[in-house]
Amino acid sequence: MSNPLSDMEHPDVIFAIGTNMTECHPVAATRLKKAIARGAKMIVADPRRTRLAKIADLHLPLRVGSDVALLLAMANVIARENLIARDFINARTAGSDAFLEHIKEFTPAWASPICEVDAELIEQAARWYGEGNPSAIFYTLGITEHISGVDNVQSLCNLALMTGNLGNMGGGINPMRGQNNIQGAGDCGAVPGNFPGFQPCADPEKAKKFSKAYGTEIDAENGITKVTALNNAGKDGAEGIHAMLIDGENTVVTDPDKNHCEQSLKNLEHLVVIDIFMTETAQLANIVLPATAFAETDGVQTNTERRVQRLRAAVQPPGDAKPDWWIISGIARQMGKQGFEYESAKDVFNELCSLSPIYEGLNWDRIENGEYQWPVPESNHPGTPRLHEKEFKNGRGLFKIIGYRDPAEVIDGEFPVWLTTGRRLQAYHTRTQTGRSSGIDYLLDEESLEIHPNDAKQWGINDGDFVKMRSRRGAIEIKARLTDRSPRGTVFTSFSFASVPVNILTGSGYDPVTQTAELKVCPVAIELVESRE
């Protein structure tokens, strides 16, 4: 998030797009509800009538995967109505002329048939966002899990840049991160393009710095992504991947293409999985190593607002379970590697801080109470609750020229229904944890497919019937639930239940830049299963 969570109580206009916040980030959503109670207006763009959409002043039920068209048309209206922040654009951005010229043709009338939203509603949303002072953008995977994920994010950046809603209190562009330490995994350099602290691997100076620190010559070029690595698993030739270390990820269940992923992992000669349970992924490993869990581990994690906080162990782990860092450094030492002699989590974290400019002012003792948001470049630095206040890290904010593209697959005669996927309040990801916590089943004990009642009627489906849902990649059976949360022509389910492996269906395409899968869009065919009760 560019802005702190506390800023969520202060926008004038909230623009929430592709975020089911009351279910996925419920505590953050309470802050939006408070802003609304104080008089803020909220626009929600989401194909589904989520709880957030129900409390919005304006709901744009756009067709799945049409975000770029909507955002182009909003930019068009903002420019036409002269709601642009000219001073901000002149002082802090670049590329505005080309951008303002580019968006001229993308009127609400153009976007309306693509998004399946009335042009007047798009006009209204654009005016509100443009007039708001401040206006804040919130988004989640509904923006990123598309083949146009990067385009979607950059389209949102364009809106914020043209209206000057960056670096201001209560404004900004705010992605809500989905996992407790997914921000931290990136901070720590667990990505193919960055060393810890977002230092680019392709920068020879940085490669030299880490080669020296780690006592090994490290390639001064980006590695491959997980998606490519899985594709290359077991392949002949130089690109083949033959061993993997997977730490705490149930890849088989979360991967956008289950069958492919399972086969990939089976193709490996050596797979080591570290986890707290025997997950579907661990089942495929040669070696499974037991890790300590929440409440048993001392450590650090970073939240969605870049706040670096301490985790504390309160109980002993079961049996021989050990912290991940202990296990992995142990393997490295067994391989004869130097520099893996650690006594504690504190040693590890302090080493990270010493190598990462955004953490340079932090250390284990300083983060005792979680009061710092990175970047914290020096030991007396107070942290940075709000990014981009005075300047952008890279100089000027760049407008990007973006065009609309259809999703990887679109509905047709054979697959006439849009499937979109997401989460539910009571279940977390693959339920390895929520599914093993007592009581959760009372509220959510099975997965279902949300279908608009009128669609169901037309398809001859009643509430509670089992349906067969097919895509170009596979088929699953799932119980139907009739609800007007789903719009006509679009159905919804989550991928939390292993009994309903929705990732057999998905996996139609990937964003060309990030290789994030288009989990939010998958054309399907649905038919009643007669025989099943």
Partner 1 sequence: MIALKDKSSGTVVGSVTIDGELVEFHQGETIYQVAERCRREVPTLCYDKRLEAFGACRLCVVEVEGIRNPVASCTTAASEGMIIKTKTKAVDKYRKTLLEMVASENRNLDIDALAGYASQELGTLLDRYKANNGRFEGKQSGESNEDDKNPFILRDYDNCISCYRCVRVCAEQEGDHAINVMNRGFHTQITTEFGNDLRDSQCTFCGQCVQTCPTGALTDKKAIRAKDLPGDISKTRSVCPYCGVGCAVDLLTKNDRVVGIQPAMDGPANEGALCIKGQYAFDFVHHPDRLTKPLIRQPDGNFREAEWEEALEAAAEGFTKVREKYGRHAIYGIASGRAPHEAAYMVQKFIRAGFGTNYIDNCSRS
Site for partner 1 in 489-518 (CB under 8 A): 514-517
- The reply to whether omega before 134 is within 30° of 0 (cis) is yes
Q: Which positions from 47 through 76 interact with partner 1, judged by CB under 8 A? A: 55
154 binds partner 1 (CB under 8 A): no
Q: Which positions from 316 through 355 interact with partner 1, judged by CB under 8 A? A: 316, 318-325, 327-335, 337, 339-340, 345, 348-349, 351-352
In this complex, which beta carbon is closest to partner 1, that of residue 78 or of residue 427? 427
CA–CA–CA angle 115, 116, 119 (5° rounding): 85
DSSP states of 20-55: -HHHHSHHHHHHHHHHHHTT-EEEEE-SS--HHHHT
Ramachandran sector of residue 309 (left: φ over 0; alpha: ψ -120 to 50; beta: rest): beta
How many other C-beta atoms lie within 10 A of the C-beta of residue 340?
16
Q: Which positions from 23 through 42 interact with partner 1, judged by CB under 8 A? A: 24-28, 30, 33-34, 36-37
Q: Which positions from 165 through 224 interact with partner 1, judged by CB under 8 A? A: 176-193, 195-196, 201, 210-211, 214-219, 221-224
- State the DSSP code for 192: S
Residues 86, 242, 405, 457: which binds partner 1 (CB under 8 A)? Answer: 242
In this complex, which beta carbon is closest to partner 1, that of residue 29 or of residue 476? 29
Q: How far, in Å, CA of 488 to CA of 451, rounded? A: 8
Residues 58, 100, 248, 509: which binds partner 1 (CB under 8 A)? Answer: 248
- State the DSSP code for 150: H
19 binds partner 1 (CB under 8 A): no
List phi, psi (to 5°) of 174.
Answer: -130, 95
Residues 3, 165, 297, 421: which binds partner 1 (CB under 8 A)? Answer: 297
In this complex, which beta carbon is closest to partner 1, that of residue 290 or of residue 361? 290
Given a contact cutoff of 8 angstroms between Cβ atoms, the answer to whether 325 and 289 are in contact is no
78 by DSSP, 3-state: which? helix
**Residue 220 Cβ vs partner 1, minimum distance, rounded to whole Å:** 9
Q: Which positions from 88 through 147 interact with partner 1, judged by CB under 8 A? A: 145
**Residue 105 Cβ vs partner 1, minimum distance, rounded to whole Å:** 33
Question: Which ranges of 103-250 does DSSP label H, i.e. alpha helix?
Answer: 108-115, 119-131, 141-144, 149-163, 182-187, 204-214, 226-231
In this complex, which beta carbon is closest to partner 1, that of residue 223 or of residue 382? 223
Residues 83, 245, 398, 529: which binds partner 1 (CB under 8 A)? Answer: 245
Q: Which positions from 401 through 460 interact with partner 1, judged by CB under 8 A? A: 425-426, 428, 432-440, 442-443
**Residue 326 Cβ vs partner 1, minimum distance, rounded to whole Å:** 9
Beta bridge partners of 14: 42, 136
Packing angle of the helix pair 67-80, 108-115 (nearest 10 deg): 160
In this complex, which beta carbon is closest to partner 1, that of residue 111 or of residue 367? 367
The window from 103-111, 116-124, 313-321, 457-465 that contacts partner 1 (CB under 8 A) reads: 313-321
432 by DSSP, 3-state: which? coil
**Residue 27 Cβ vs partner 1, minimum distance, rounded to whole Å:** 5
In this complex, which beta carbon is closest to partner 1, that of residue 68 or of residue 367? 367
